[in-house]
């Protein structure tokens, strides 16, 4: 806060003293000792003084800046895309002089984000802690793994979303999503699908798609692999018929000609390398797609001025060349929203996630 933080309290105390003198003068029927104005004008002076007092308070609040070390809580181990993005945020905040205190990345891997969320929860009211978060903050609570909901924290900004694609081997007889849906309507267990986690964003996006086509997603044959890369290898070996994965996980084998994308679970067709991949809706399946979003949360109970500071800092981060390059290289969709719009976005995504998890019997 610097000089604003120091001057604010002194200014408020001085204004309060003057206001008290003015009120006493009014009660005694005397002239003001300072302004030498008639008592009948005191009624005008007091509101002005109180207005100045309010303005000084607002000014002091709006000038909030971090005063001590900032921690960016990363829910995964070092080295992955979540770690890379978080450290780029750190670099931008410091190199861009958006803050003048150290920014420290803290990897809290474990429990599929449970440890990271618990750590943020321990620092309620402290705006020096930021959590780089994914949809597991929904699914952990819905699955009964934690009582903490996403609403127990302060959404600061939506940064980007990662879309799900459904791929098949290059030689598969399935030419489009309609072919796949027709086969599943005849027999929901006809094909084996690979995913990297049961109840994860890719599994949920696949389930939402078949549910929208009138198929019970709980009847699908789903095989869970440790990584999307392992599921791709199994599909190319003939052990699976399709894989639901992130775009970035699928792209290498698609570019090599080993696999094909049948669809992308997105509200509208993408650009660039994905320009030829039709959406679910383009193929008659009314499913917008459950997104694998990334949101920065602050702790519960931080002040509006602190929210505003982080909104602005993150807004400046997502327009840098380094940020745009990282998203492009990893096929991530930029979708920046400020705090209030992020809260509305999360409300819709939570409802969609809850509906699909209920169909799958994953809610506890």
Q: What CATH number does the domain containing 220 carry?
A: 3.40.190.10
Identify whether residues 154 and 178 lie together within a single domain: no
CATH of the domain at 141: 3.40.190.150
CA–CA separation, 110 and 116 (whole Å): 8
Longest Cα–Cα distance in the chain: 97
pLDDT confidence of residue 260:
98
Residues 170 and 153 in one domain: no
Q: Is 203 left (phi over 0), alpha (psi -120 to 50) or beta?
A: alpha
- Residue 274, CA atoms < 13 Å, CB-side half-sphere: 29
Cα 105 to Cα 119: distance, rounded to the nearest angstrom:
13
Look at residue 135 and tell me if it is in a domain.
yes
> Which pLDDT value is given to residue 295?
99
Range of the domain at 152: 70-161+292-359
Q: Whole-model pTM?
A: 0.82
| pLDDT on residue 83 | 97
Tens of each residue's pLDDT in the chain, 364 residues: 443 343 444 445 554 564 566 456 545 554 344 444 544 444 455 444 455 444 444 444 458 999 999 999 999 999 999 999 999 999 999 999 999 999 999 999 998 899 999 999 999 999 999 999 999 999 999 999 999 999 999 999 999 999 999 999 999 999 999 999 999 999 999 999 999 999 999 999 999 999 999 999 999 999 999 999 999 999 999 999 999 999 999 999 999 999 999 999 999 999 888 999 999 999 999 998 999 999 999 999 999 999 999 999 999 999 999 999 999 999 999 999 999 999 999 999 999 999 999 999 999 9
Hey, what are 108's tokens?
A: 């809290």
The answer to whether position 221 is within a domain reads yes
pLDDT digits (tens, 9 = 90+) for 224-266: 999 999 999 999 999 999 999 999 999 999 999 999 999 999 9
Give the count of domains, the chain: 3
Q: Do residues 254 and 331 make contact, with C-beta atoms less than 8 angstroms apart? A: no
Supply the pLDDT for residue 190: 93
Distance set, CA 342 to CA 155, 156, 299 (Å)? 6, 7, 15
Question: Is the Cβ–Cβ distance between 119 and 108 less than 8 Å?
Answer: yes
Q: Are residues 132 and 271 in the same domain?
A: no
Q: Are residues 214 and 274 in the same domain?
A: yes
Contact in structure between 240 and 194 (CB atoms under 8 Å)? yes
pLDDT of residue 27: 56
Strands of 242-246's sheet, edge to edge? 221-224, 192-195, 242-246, 164-169, 259-265
260 with 329, same domain: the answer is: no
Buried b (16+ CB within 10 A) or exposed e, 315-352: eebbeeeebeebbeebbbbebbbbbeebbebbeebbeb
Contact between 271 and 189 (Cβ < 8 Å): no
3-class secondary-structure state, position 39 = helix
- Is 364 inside any structural domain? no
Judge whether 128 lies within some domain: yes
Q: With respect to residue 253, please indicate whether it lies within any of the assigned structural domains.
A: yes
Of the three residues 254, 283, 312, the one that is the final residue of a domain is 283
Query: 114 with 180, same domain?
Result: no
């Amino acid at each position: 806060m610097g000089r604003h933080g120091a001057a604010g309290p002194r200014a408020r105390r001085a204004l309060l003293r003057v206001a008290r003198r003015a009120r006493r003068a009014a009660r005694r029927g005397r002239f003001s000792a300072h302004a030498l104005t008639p008592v009948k004008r005191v009624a005008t002076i007091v509101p002005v003084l109180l207005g100045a007092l309010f303005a000084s308070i607002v000014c002091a609040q709006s000038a909030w800046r971090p005063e001590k070390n900032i921690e960016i809580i990363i829910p995964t181990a070092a080295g992955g895309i979540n770690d890379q993005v978080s450290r780029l945020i750190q670099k931008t905040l410091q190199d861009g002089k958006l803050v003048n205190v150290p920014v420290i990345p803290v990897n809290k891997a474990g429990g599929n984000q449970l440890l990271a969320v618990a750590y943020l929860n321990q620092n309620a009211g402290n705006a020096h802690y930021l959590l780089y978060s994914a949809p597991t903050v929904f699914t952990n609570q819905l699955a009964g793994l934690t009582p903490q909901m996403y609403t127990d924290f302060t959404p600061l900004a939506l940064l980007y979303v990662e879309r799900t694609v459904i791929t098949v081997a290059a030689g598969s007889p399935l030419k489009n999503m309609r072919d796949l849906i027709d086969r599943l309507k005849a027999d929901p267990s006809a094909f084996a699908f690979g995913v990297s986690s049961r109840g994860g964003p890719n599994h949920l996006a696949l389930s939402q798609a078949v549910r929208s086509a009138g198929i019970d997603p709980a009847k699908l044959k789903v095989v869970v692999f440790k990584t999307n890369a392992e599921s791709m290898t199994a599909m190319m070996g003939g052990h699976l018929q399709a894989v639901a994965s992130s775009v970035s996980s699928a792209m290498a084998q698609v570019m090599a000609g080993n696999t094909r994308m049948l669809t992308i679970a997105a509200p509208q067709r993408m650009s660039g390398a994905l320009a030829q991949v039709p959406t679910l809706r383009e193929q008659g399946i009314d499913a917008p797609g459950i997104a694998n979003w990334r949101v920065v949360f602050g702790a519960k109970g931080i002040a509006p001025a602190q929210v505003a500071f982080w909104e602005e800092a993150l807004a400046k981060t997502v327009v840098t060349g380094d940020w745009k390059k990282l998203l492009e290289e990893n096929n991530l969709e930029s979708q920046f929203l400020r705090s209030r719009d992020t809260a509305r976005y999360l409300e819709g995504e939570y409802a969609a996630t809850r509906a699909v998890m209920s169909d799958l019997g994953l809610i506890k």
